[in-house]
Amino acid sequence: MEKPGQHIFVCSSSRINGQHQGVCHKKDSVQILANFMEEIEDRD
């Protein structure tokens, strides 16, 4: 696998215990992250 040329960081306000809370979570960051992951899988 090639070393990525760029990175995208998405704040998900994840806590160690797995709970999501905070400003990022309230703005649907978990869904945004899921959309990124789905698109990455689709593009292999």
Reading the block at residue 14, the tokens are 């994840």
Number of neighbours of residue 9 by Cβ within 10 angstroms: 5
Phi, psi (degrees; rounded to nearest 5) at 32: -60, -45
pLDDT digits (tens, 9 = 90+) for 11-33: 877 777 767 677 777 788 878 88
Whole-number Å distance between alpha carbons of 24 and 40: 21
pLDDT score at 35: 93
- pTM over the 0.85 mark: no
